[in-house]
Structure 1
């Protein structure tokens, strides 16, 4: 890569969408960007904007909120219906809009207070929000009569949060051509390699490097009067947003930054605590850690000996770590900061309960014995609490849920069922039918899961319906019931549930995949392809979706399209034996015997005990005249599957191959 002294305009070759620019931050970089943007605006650019993606300035949606805010007046004028159909995404990204936009579909998880929340959002929800925002922009562009390229400058991209980075990557992947979008991604020196690698998953990426004067490495200490001004500005902002949750959420980055630049930086910690809380409520688990991890250094001061305050931080941090695939780190955190440092029974009970769930489900190596030991220790700690309190009852219900999970993982669903039924009796004995709705819903889901494992499909569907009756706006519940209906063979009911789930919130790749599977089972191949394609638009690197669409293409006899999807799937998982075998069948039907044999050889080497692979390879080998090898494969097939329904047919074929081989050898 060559060093440059200026940014050329246009900076990209035809067909390219993204330029990663590495340059020292500071006034010179801002001047270069301003000059380049001015030259671009002098052309035919329809919309251009410099977006500050710095998490410390804009929070989780830094850059994204600025983009939507700039376009909102035009969206309201051109396509106001989009403000309704994308209400959930808009109020999540621009919380100040909650004063004028009330989302149509809010689940109990959205509405419940922190004390009442016994469930958290799935990790997928954050991605659904960003994809919904992308769909909003695409819909606006289609409705707008004005035409021309879009130019977005993502300043401080290396300092962006996880969701903001993912939004711009997915925006250019999904809508780069539709919007005629050019994305200039600006990063500090040393951040270019990682940024190029990340964005190259979406499209081709070009790169430039400007040699600019660096900012001073050791700035002079902030003068006392400046620090005082920052503290005063922070207090004034606190006063303005007091009692206004949406204003607090929108002002969090500013509050934190002001206090950290003052002589009282410890005051920033309580706002970081608030940032952690809000991110966990919304399901922004990756970005929640940006707020929460610095709190560990001041944990004792923040909790002041209050076990509940300590758990409010540690419980949320561990949940974020576990949700983002770092359950081992989450477990260590609880062991080091709770088990080793506290003797408060409520705090210990929650920590042991959480560790039980981690050992039973989330840790890389499942350890049911340790999980059960944690359940026992949690129960012992609950026995130290006042027995008739809500806290004791709540913990008993949670611990029962963990024990039921352990029994389920042990292959004892009937025992798990009895534990859940005991929890339901406890709820009924101490709370009215409208109390503790989220705990009731969670219990209905666990019971439904158990009945499904036991093959009691009607009971499973009944309990999923009970959860839906408690929280009819929760899209995930419809998705779960749809899966149960699918497994029960009730495909029309499954289709209806998947369709309902899609109407209750931003787009979901998982629901689209399940709908595609449903349509394929109904032999509605065209509908299946549309559903799978919708899923791939949201999540392009999903093997299950690619394979499902390939099989739907096969139903319609579209061999080349099916092969393209199998090829894409194998690019992601080259050692997927069933996919190799499926592609081999298509190669065979197209007369490409050597390609078919190569795939089957690989499939057999990966899964030598799969009878069908040997049988299929014997057909190809026979057609190639390699009878001895075909005989060996058919013999292996019968050895692996001695009770095969087609045994007589296979033995007859073996006899014919042996006769042909003898004739060949005699001649």
Structure 2
């Protein structure tokens, strides 16, 4: 289970540490003087690519954690192995999903770009729990060379700085003096608000000593520096080998100069040293090395650049499979350069691979315009039907799924997807023709859903499932069949055929029992069907399987709120916000419940933080109006409600609340005017009609009040007793008059 959440936006009194210096050695020396760190790790992405620092930290602390708290390690297995796959032999592997077990060529489902955030949240919970169970009750972890870290390490540190109490898990972050270009904005924000910065003095070389840190990636020297005794004589061969052994990350100028002198004098000898180092690292059989140092040495040791292609393909595929998309994009850039060195008769499918993969990754990273440019370049460069089929499919998915709402065009999407279906139908091999036609048809079904043509979408998915069963048997493309079934379940929910949808979700959970998103989706279906207990059971199972995501806690909060457990719902919404403070729906839900329970001042603070993230959001402003009304801050309430209505003139709730404020201050005509607008948007609503009738009555327009009360009585959910009483009172006054 996850750690108890702090209050969103909480700042601890004792900050983490940020050490800034000119060189890594300076930072390490200063960090050692700041406090004693249990682990110090180098985050330079050239060593192991994604999660270089986090993975090294885990390889250091997990063996001890495994001996003391194996159940804690087991609860975070997926996240630990994502960052440190080498630990599988020690801690075991989780039961796989259909995605992970899909044979080569059958992978049709990719992780969300948010997966690494989910992994980071899980790892933060692991560290918090591990610190609580440790002998000292705390952990102190230092991450250096963060300015050269991969996105995954920086993302983890940004989240960890925000979500850890320094009294429990103390973090040190060391980097060169930043201008902001090498650090993620999120990390810079966290460093600015959650750390004390210490400037590392620049130390002379003879004062650096032998600086080491735990958990080195290589096992021979831990920090990119070598303590060669013959440095004093500036032996170029020793300096060259030190540079190679550092995997090119040393910041000792004498080592770097020796390397470039040697490469100019005898490039073949230097290339041989790179090849030897690559072989040494490959012999360790550690996956993460293939994403960093091995690639570096293979590239620089290759007789021609094109010889490095297989190593890059292997690394790029791994990154795609596990969701390391930003690292994958960097690899694809390198692969494009490698192809420029390819012989004229090389396999052109490799160029197509780069076009397709770059487009896929850019789309997953929400960079749609660049993705489209990659796909269009691919279409302009190919006359191969299968390549054109794939490119039209991905262009269709851009228009119907990935584009921002204002740029989506489902008709254009259908044009591309129909083309992809047509090209698939011409594939000569029967099995491939069946699979690709169904695959492209599934994309077409999504466009039909977005066009509101649910029945047509259902027919496409049903036909696809039937064709795969008929022509390919039971064993092949099991993953894609599960995707089709999941899509059918969603379409059935849209058609209000809830029982049939639940039958599909039940089958999905049966065939892919360790994929937590199916439990999440079935929980949503059960919630929509009114089965709140069933929904909570599924949400609990999804959480247990991990990794976690804020939508899971939000939906748990909605289910608990609907079940009347308001305090438990509040805790769920708090946890969703603790994970991701910009989760707008959870902030709105939590603020609403705080208002319901009389915690107006806490709600005002929460809403204020939300408006800092989502300026002029109409729903937040409406809630601010309600909260400030409750504490009699009338001017602030009116300003918030005016801004809410200006931001969204169809938010009838804001009009209704402003009408109540007008009523309280005797502005009955203004109240009626706001309720007129609210009813024009919402349609006949018994509460709005009652409120307008009450305002009409206060303004002395009794006949209009009677009319509103009468209309309200005709609607379901009306408070009949109160409406009849008010109508009788008005009629009595009218008869007297």
Normalised to the residue count of structure 2, the TM-score between the two structures is 0.79
Structure ID, larger Rg: 2
Cα deviation 1:247-283 (Å, max 9, x = unaligned):
3443441211112333536233332222111011111
Name the counterpart of 2:420: 378
CA distance in 1, matches of 2:109, 2:678: 49
Cα deviation 1:502-547 (Å, max 9, x = unaligned):
1112222221111111111112112212222222232222111122
Cα deviation 1:73-108 (Å, max 9, x = unaligned):
332343232222222122222222222333333211
Name the counterpart of 1:35: 29
User: Which of residues 66, 73, 90 is equivalent to 1:76?
Assistant: 66
Partner of 1:150, secondary structure, is strand
Cα deviation 1:369-420 (Å, max 9, x = unaligned):
32222123223432442151x2222210111011111211111111111111
CA distance in 2, matches of 1:115, 1:193: 36
User: Which of residues 522, 525, 530 is equivalent to 1:484?
Assistant: 525
Alignment of 1:545-560 (within 5 A): 545-560=586-601
Name the counterpart of 2:18: 19
Name the counterpart of 1:343: 383
Structure 1 residue 166: Cα displacement? 0.8
Structure 1 residue 198: Cα displacement? 3.0
Instruction: After superposing the two structures, state which structure 1 stretch, 220-229 or 600-609, moved more.
Output: 220-229
Instruction: After superposing the two structures, state which structure 1 stretch, 338-347 or 143-152, moved more.
Output: 143-152
User: Which of residues 128, 137, 151 is equivalent to 2:127?
Assistant: 137
CA distance in 2, matches of 1:642, 1:236: 73
Name the counterpart of 2:168: 179
Name the counterpart of 1:109: 99
User: Which of residues 227, 236, 240 is equivalent to 2:283?
Assistant: 240
Name the counterpart of 1:52: 42
Mapped contact 2:410–2:451 kept (Cα < 8 A): yes
Mapped contact 1:615–1:633 kept (Cα < 8 A): yes
Name the counterpart of 1:296: 336
Name the counterpart of 1:397: 438
1:439 and 2:480 correspond: yes
Name the counterpart of 1:275: 315
Q: 1:343 to 1:520 in 2, by over 3 A?
A: same
Alignment of 1:185-196 (within 5 A): 185-187=174-176, 190-191=179-180, 194=183
Partner of 1:427, secondary structure, is helix
Q: 1:515 to 1:634 in 2, by over 3 A?
A: closer
Normalised to the residue count of structure 1, the TM-score between the two structures is 0.87
Mapped contact 2:278–2:298 kept (Cα < 8 A): no
Alignment of 1:637-648 (within 5 A): 637=678, 643-646=684-687, 647=689
Partner of 1:340, secondary structure, is helix
CA distance in 2, matches of 1:322, 1:641: 37
Name the counterpart of 2:400: 360
Cα deviation 1:13-33 (Å, max 9, x = unaligned):
97332325142x4xxx41x23
Name the counterpart of 1:161: 150
Name the counterpart of 2:239: none
Structure 1 residue 152: Cα displacement? 1.0
CA distance in 2, matches of 1:195, 1:444: 39
CA distance in 1, matches of 2:418, 2:185: 49
CA distance in 2, matches of 1:235, 1:149: 34
Name the counterpart of 2:326: 286
Mapped contact 2:515–2:545 kept (Cα < 8 A): yes
Partner of 1:574, secondary structure, is coil
Structure 1 residue 236: Cα displacement? 2.6
Cα deviation 1:14-55 (Å, max 9, x = unaligned):
7332325142x4xxx41x2343244345xxx3x343321111
Instruction: After superposing the two structures, state which structure 1 stretch, 620-629 or 61-70, moved more.
Output: 620-629
CA distance in 1, matches of 2:555, 2:342: 45
Cα deviation 1:196-248 (Å, max 9, x = unaligned):
7633246334556667599769854624265133243156347636xx6xx34
Name the counterpart of 1:257: 296
Cα deviation 1:282-317 (Å, max 9, x = unaligned):
112122212222212234666965465444443332
Cα deviation 1:582-613 (Å, max 9, x = unaligned):
23223223322222222211112222234443
Name the counterpart of 2:541: 500
- Alignment RMSD (CA, Å): 2.9
User: Which of residues 567, 580, 586 is equivalent to 1:526?
Assistant: 567
Q: 1:238 to 1:616 in 2, by over 3 A?
A: closer
Structure 2 alignment gaps of length 5 or more:
1-11, 205-250, 703-737
Structure 1 residue 450: Cα displacement? 0.9
Mapped contact 2:671–2:695 kept (Cα < 8 A): no
Partner of 1:177, secondary structure, is coil
CA distance in 2, matches of 1:167, 1:615: 43
Cα deviation 1:402-458 (Å, max 9, x = unaligned):
111121111111111111111111111112234321111011011111111122221
Name the counterpart of 1:454: 495
Q: 1:192 to 1:207 in 2, by over 3 A?
A: farther
Partner of 2:172, secondary structure, is strand
Q: 1:302 to 1:135 in 2, by over 3 A?
A: farther
User: Which of residues 68, 83, 90 is equivalent to 1:100?
Assistant: 90
1:332 and 2:373 correspond: yes
Partner of 1:63, secondary structure, is helix
Q: 1:599 to 1:531 in 2, by over 3 A?
A: same
Mapped contact 1:20–1:205 kept (Cα < 8 A): no
CA distance in 1, matches of 2:49, 2:13: 34
CA distance in 1, matches of 2:462, 2:201: 68
